[in-house]
Structure 1
């Protein structure tokens, strides 16, 4: 049986690929469990300084595994609670890890594929890509931190409209509404996404992690509490080797080379 997720580490970039192309890369129990394990691996491995997530086959992801959901009506609630464990663990670790996460979307992303795109630090899409809400089309609410990251990217009203009206956006519409980092020509997506991940992998990884956590708390904290979090974060980064390298090299008018620690 092939892996639902493949992971390759090269030049500081952990390259994860959704790898059930014959099924459209559904967010089934197996994929979610493997995604959770891959996220934990990336979080623990100090050699990982950026994460790139893409997908094999004709679709990025067709969303939830609808066939599995129809096998046991009485057990469907338990199935959902069990099924979201892996996905939610993965999303949490991708959001909290120091390494920036880049998602590259081609063709169609549905449901969990959309919220994974929203949860990533950067999302690039092929010009032909589409983003389909999917959840309410089968009578379900969202998961995968869709209620957290979609409002952060596109606003609360736009999120309500996207999810409740079960909208299907082109890449340009998704970009205009704030979901994406950029739209690129289809043929350029793999190289552009890799170049972005490789660029981030050369940066001050600990500082990136502090910024990610500050952005996660910005809607929850009053001004003074967020300012204190910023002060503590910048003090922590000031004690890193990368900060000292950056300060001394820039002072000497040289370009710093960061090593992620």
Structure 2
């Protein structure tokens, strides 16, 4: 399938998503959000996708919302934003809930929804040039893309409040120190390092990864006893997988386990 705002391919167990409107700064607009939802559904359903890598072409990761689109029709703006965020939010939800781990590789500027997308990933690698700009308060808007949930979970409520309400920009090193970024690497090495990580994850126990992701999401607001039961039930489901049984027997025999994703 051909996309307007992205290139997407599946190879070596990796669903590789590239934001690909570099001449526009990879903005979040209606087509972008709708297409991202379709790609997320494909990643979630395709058994060949065992890790997802999200990166961007051009100078920026994303400049966020296209202000020219937002400024076209004041009367239609509430309807437009609700429609566009439907696609964006379904994509964020599926990336967060799917079995395949998601790696974001951020370079240059990530603005608004670009920060939300990076925060939603399971791993965020940043080039030294990366800057994370809140942006919403600067144009009198509130955040979208699950940024308030993901950023609060990653950096804490005080830091998230400062970021959004004071319209802050964080460098790559600041974002790493505060918990948004997993690792900072040289810009020249970003693509290589992100692919290495995605390949590592694609070779892991995909079904178990999915259970881990959902447990980690639930850990934010679940009572201890509820989470304990969720952990027990998740482990019960994982023990039924071929990957789990094969790994248990391999390690017991002092052999290195291999995982097939099922």
Q: Structure 1 length normalisation: TM-score?
A: 0.99
C-alpha displacement of 1:216: 1.0
SS in 1 for 2:10: strand
**Which residue does the alignment assign to 1:7?**
8
1:119, 1:158 → 2: CA distance? 17
* Residues 65-214 of structure 1 aligned to structure 2 (within 5 Å): 65-214=66-215
Distance 1:35 1:102 in 2: 15
**Count of equivalent residues:** 261
What are the ranges of 5 or more consecutive residues in structure 2 without an aligned counterpart? none
Alignment of 1:235-246 (within 5 A): 235-246=236-247
Q: Using the alignment, how far apart are the partners of 1:256 and 1:244 within structure 2?
A: 10
Q: Tell me how far apart the structure 2 counterparts of residues 33 and 75 of structure 1 sit (CA, whole Å).
A: 18
Distance 2:220 2:204 in 1: 26
The question of whether the paired residues in 1 share the 8 Å contact of 2:3 and 2:35 is answered with no
Match of 1:43 in 2: 44
Partners of 2:19 and 2:53 in 1: CA distance: 11
CA deviations over 1:94-134 (Å, ceiling 9, x no partner) = 00100000000001000011011111000000011100001
**Shift in Å, 1:2:** 6.3
State how far apart, in whole Å, the 1-side matches of 2:80 and 2:30 are.
Answer: 9
1:257 paired with 2:247, answer: no
How many angstroms apart in 2 are the aligned matches of 1:150 and 1:247?
36
Q: Secondary structure, in 3 states, of the residue corresponding to 1:53? A: strand
Structure 2 Cα separation of the partners of residues 153 and 140 of structure 1? 22
5+ long unaligned stretches in structure 1: none
SS of equivalent residue, structure 1 residue 123: strand
TM-score (normalised: structure 2)? 0.98
For 2:64, the equivalent position in structure 1 comes to 63
- CA displacement at 1:147 relative to structure 2: 1.3
RMSD (CA atoms): 0.9
Matches within 5 A, 1:216-255: 216-255=217-256
Offset, 1:76: 1.1
